[in-house]
Amino acid sequence: MKGYLWTRAQAPQREPSHSDWEAIAIDAVGNTIEFWGFKRNQGRVWALLYLRDVVLTAAEIEKELDLSKGGVSMLLRDLERWGVVLRVRSPHDSAWRYKAETDLLKMARRVIEEREFSFIARVRADLEEAIRLAEADPRTAKAKVARLRKMEVLAEATEKALRLFLKTSRLDVGSLFGVFKPDEGR
């Protein structure tokens, strides 16, 4: 299947340095965020920064997660654009360093809103179009139009479910909102 809600990839390989459980946790976040429609490695980069709770250069991230230079550049650009990673430059430092912002679900919500709603909207528009065309043709059996209408209900239900899903995630994050905010170890 192509359009799986999510793909389960499991990277068995781990970075050599640092503890074993760190890699496990990083991969877990990668899998979770892939679930939400992002790249696995976007989640891994965020998780690395969040877990270490330090600023890292692109080169360090590249090494820790075993990614390519170009890849890290693109991953960081996306994460920065979504506001979940911050780029900072200390004085007398020739390289940018990156740190994790805290609200990761914000990113999921935004993309779902922008991307998926418009997608479903177009599907619904297509069905409207089909109904219009069907009704315009006098040869069309009434039962057929009825069935088209029922198909549209399917799309409507999808949209509605998605909306509620989003709202819930917002609520959940609300209740968890402090969770990724300041923590005692800063």
Beta carbons within 10 angstroms of residue 41's beta carbon: 21
Selected binder of its own copies within 70, 94, 137, 182 (CB under 8 A)? 137
Residue 51's binding partner among DNA, its own copies, none (Cβ under 5 to 8 angstroms by kind) is: its own copies
Which of 22, 23, 2, 4 is closest to 12 using CA atoms? Answer: 23
Q: Check residue 77 for interaction with DNA (CB under 7 A).
A: yes
The b-or-e profile of 142-162 (16+ CB within 10 A means b, else e) is eeeeeebeeebeebeeebeeb
Least Å from the CB of residue 141 to its own copies? 7
Q: Which one of the spans 50-58, 66-74, 82-90, 91-99 is the region binding its own copies (CB under 8 A)?
A: 50-58
How far is it, in rounded angstroms, from Cα 166 to Cα 140?
38
> Binding string to its own copies for residues 69 to 108, with x set by CB under 8 A, is what?
-----------------------------------xx---
How far is it, in rounded angstroms, from Cα 54 to Cα 98?
8
Closer CB to its own copies, 23 or 58, in the complex: 23
Q: What is the largest CA-CA distance in the chain?
A: 77
> Binding string to DNA for residues 37 to 76, with x set by CB under 7 A, is what?
--xxx---------------xxx------xxxxxx-xxxx
